[in-house]
Amino acid sequence: MSSPKVLAFAGSTRKESVNKRLARIALQAAKKAGAETTFVDLQDFNIPLYCDDLVAKEGIPEGVLQFKQLLNSHNGFFIASPEYNGSLTGVLKNAIDWATIKADGEERMSCWNGKIAGLVSASPGGLGGIRGLHHLRTILAGIGTFVLPNHLAVGNSTENLQNEKQITDEKLQLQLESLTHEMVRVIRALH
């Protein structure tokens, strides 16, 4: 197979999101592991709140189609999920829901089914957003995505994500590199 294609995005619309920063750091590690990488910002797709009535009246919004096209063109995803009230963010859940609907010429859930996902999160608190990752894992598994068994939650993000190149805490950086290598290995084995 050619180089695995890995897409990363964060479930945050905040411009200076630590989860966006973590997603970019994960992609740098994936690139070193041999993957072709792409980062996208969910904010750029202008995805409305999911509504069947909107689909019936106007069809699937263009931003959703663009997001689905990106998902379909990659073998795996790094999803950096902030934790809001013990779960994933509404913006991330909304994007996932939209991307499960069937567009012309594709099977339902084709952008998720059989893909590989690596889950990461960052938070200023000590737990790093881990509670939200458990919910995200359940959702993705339910739509046919193979979620890597390991994940990474970076606590104390103000200190640990000070730059765009790597996590300050060496142990956490090594865990992230291990996770990215595992993703590339699994993609190569399955695709």
Q: What is the DSSP string of 68-123?
A: HHHHHT-SEEEEE---BTTB--HHHHHHHHHHTSPPTTS-TTTTTTT-EEEEEEE-
Total domains in the chain come to 1
Please list, in sequence order, all residues whose beta carbon lies within 8 angstroms of the beta carbon of residue 69, skipping any fewer than 6 positions away. Answer: none
Tens-place pLDDT, residues 71-116: 999 999 999 999 999 999 999 999 999 999 998 888 888 999 999 9
Boundaries of domain holding 175? 5-190
**Average pLDDT score over residue span 9-22:** 96
Sign of CA dihedral 64, 75, 90, 103: positive
Tens digit of each residue's pLDDT (9 = 90 or more) over 137-150: 999 999 999 999 99
- Please give the model's pTM, rounded to 2 decimal places: 0.95
Residue 1 confidence (pLDDT): 64
**Could you tell me the CATH number of the domain that includes residue 132?**
3.40.50.360
Residue of 149, 10, 167, 154 lying closest to 80 (CA atoms): 10
